[in-house]
Structure 1
Amino acid sequence: MMKQLVCLFFFLLLILSCREVSPIRELKKGDSVSDFADTLFLGKVENLYAYKNKLYFIEQFRNQIVVLDDNLRLTGLVGIEGEGPTNLCGISGFVIHDDTLCAIDPVCGKILLFSMDGRVVGRRQFVGNEPLMPEFRFVASKGNLIEMSVSDKQGAFGRLDILSDSISFWGQRTLYPFDDLERIRNGRHLFKYKSHYICISDNEPVIEFYDAVRKRKGCLDYTSLDVVQRRLNYLRSHSSSSAANSYGIICEDAYVDENDDLLILLLSSNGDKGYEVNTLAVFDLQHDGARLREVCKLSGSVYSSFCYMDGSVYAFNVEQSVLEQFFL
């Protein structure tokens, strides 16, 4: 009962802070890039990530991690495509912690650790069917610990020790009427902000907060945002009994910046122009939660991933196959 009251309190607080967010501001565009001479053409970009004034992202057609400076100039590539023990053949995500890049390759069933100059400094081969959901953003710490969404019913997240191969579970799962639905709809982006955790579902308009010992402290429901209302109305109007085991994406990507205490969500919507993924909900992070700052819009129609660095949002425009900078 107490957990429900806490969640209700955060929900009412968010409603009050979200009443008027219009007109939505369209962000001013800065630099952009679509290719790097004859070296690289951007085709399918995922997992944009900012670290120490550089941008990192996955170019999935190459199975490599691309590194750019803050002027969008190519500075390097991490990983080599292939099926060898230290190669990448199907990278789905990565995170950087303490100058170590941790990459997940579910296709070849491995985790690879890279130094900042691209050397392989560690690896772990998956044994059997791991319950990990590496398509979501995840957390790495202490050089050997990874925490991410899992499909196992024992918890919402798994804490994997690369050295010992042990895994423990934590977090509250959402219950759904079908097993397949329960498995796929419990995926969440996971971030560590200072000493606690922030979790964002891709298909439910909810942000969850866990403390340092992984105890759930509260949640924010951002259903009241106009962009979310339009998306939910569309999904309801197009639902059918045959689609019982499917769901629609509400939050395409999310990002946390500790330097500026920001949480930003990339939201999908349905409107007069059809399906779009170009709306950003910007939250100021606080000691025990978050408060909506503004809702703004990118100039393109569909974006696959984004990150934030020093006042700028960097997002990949899918229709134009271009990486774009916007000033927040």
Structure 2
Amino acid sequence: MERRKVGILGATGMVGQRFIQLLNNHPWFEITWLAASDRSAGKAYAEACKWKLDTPLPANIGAMTVQPNVPELAKDDLPKIIFAALDAEHARELEPKFAAAGCAVISNSSAFRMVEDVPLVVPEVNAGHLDLLEAQAWRKNSGGYIVTNPNCSAIGLVLALKPLEERFGIESLFVSTMQAVSGAGYPGVASLDILGNVVPFIKNEEEKMQEEVGKLLGRSRGNRIEMLDAKVSAHCNRVPVEDGHTECVSIKFRKKATREEILAAWSEFAPLRGQHLPSAPEHPVEFDSSVDRPQPRLDRMRGHGMASTVGRLRECPLLDWKFVVLSHNTIRGAAGAALLNAEVLARMGKLDKLGVPTGNAAQRQAVLA
């Protein structure tokens, strides 16, 4: 596939750094534009960013000049594919401006996840929801659009749930999370608040999980999503782990399921196989039969950080079954999720002819001319 130019909004933050790490030497995408806040704009990226990842900052990226978060100032330098790593407040203001400028905005933010015509996507779970973007006003007026990936704790969970929902149906779900500090960004949670401690509150996290699971596992009905008809209850906790969200799940099915049937559903789950997507794990859900797995330190990098690991499957005396699921929160739960969305969009042809309005034939011809 032809390499396409991409930009990163919010490039100096932790998710922005992870985008750079994952996109460096990517076979389909090339970083040509970085943008951040006013205090970083105009500086070399290496000067503006406090690099925190365990691989070196690529020299060519470090030498790039950080641009303002303003599409109008970029003019011809603005790539049409934008990975957005903004907090919700800034995303709500800035992402529509880039979509209106004809860009595909592939967002990690929560700002537009639950908007009716904005796809909220985990490709193995609901890639078909990407067709929603064709109903967006930005798509019709400028050729641009917004696509989102879910909350970091919802992504690992729905990967494990999707094959179960397909085979057995889900009636109710209880999940309690133990979420890594990297999910709070940098500098994140103060050390005196988290070391030797558990914080049983993450603002808006429980609400996000409960809503987003319903949309992700819902059915596409024309230009809207019919939410999953299931009860979902979440408890979210911050724990002193660097990377990797662990979730304890209890589930009640609509149809009885045996242990062997559940394990088969997970092992046979490979909806992207054959598409040859660079970031897609061969096995999106991996089961570990050890009595004490998964663990963040040992299992978060399965599938290069893009797989969910499940374990401790056993009968639940309250519901039907219970298990533990682990996923890497800044790879699969953030930048890697958006990158995989972009790869699927490329395969679907939805990264072609960006900036070409779809809503008016005369307008389309004028732009193409």
Range class of TM-score, shorter chain: under 0.3
Of Structure 1 and Structure 2, the greater strand share is in: 1
TM-score normalized by the length of structure 1: 0.26
From the CA coordinates, give the structure whose radius of gyration is larger. Answer: 2
The structure with more helix, counted as a fraction of residues: 2
The two structures have a TM-score, normalised by structure 2, of 0.24
